[in-house]
Amino acid sequence: MEALTKRQQQVLDYIQASQVQQGVVPTMREIARQFGYKSMTAAADHVRALRRKGFLVHHPRQARSHSVVQMMQQVVQRALVSIPLYGSIPAGFADERTQEAERTVSVDLESLGLRSGSKIIALEVRGDSMIGRHIVDGDIAIIDRARTPKQGDVVAALIDRESTLKTLEFENGRPYLRAENPLYLNLHPSHELLTQGVMVALVRKHV
């Protein structure tokens, strides 16, 4: 197959993910909205290029008239893994809460350099204390619970029995949590600070 441009690969990834997760491919209008195109012409140009290069099959007279070629679909199905989404985690002030899995999120573990046996969970971010690391309210943080945290990592942590998402730092050998927004103070534990996992990826919703 002919090589894809960066944008063509992004469009193909979006079509593949929709086909695997929702059972249908997106319409031209949905593709245009996903990538911020003002008209469907640019979306149609990318779809035609993907057809020409052998990545899409055209189905005339159907509303959703394309599908990913079977070989590509099988690759995506092997790569995407559903991981549990354990509610939300404050990226603001620490908050005491009990987490229970609400639903799942599909991610490509291979692209993250992770194996399927990894202890991976997802947490929905609430608050704006981490905007300096481009983490905003509504993002989904992918957390590796088995990874050993190091200075500068973004971690899900339990500080004095309250959960939060912050950057791990050390001062005189003692750990504390740094906010990435000057409106928030850093968090120093009064009793204990337990890291519960390291953020390895971020999933952002497009609305």
- The residues assigned a catalytic role are 129, 166
CA distance 33 to 43: 9
Query: Which residues lie across from 174 on neighbouring strands?
Result: 171
AA identity, residue 142: I
Q: Which helix (H) or strand (E) holds 72?
A: helix 70-79
CA distance 196 to 123: 12
Torsion angle defined by CA atoms of residues 10, 14, 17 and 20, in that order, rounded to the nearest 10 degrees? -120
Q: Which pair of structure tokens corresponds to residue 180? A: 């990435």
> From its phi and psi, is residue 161 left (phi > 0), alpha (psi between -120 and 50) or beta?
left
Q: Which helix (H) or strand (E) holds 200?
A: strand 193-203
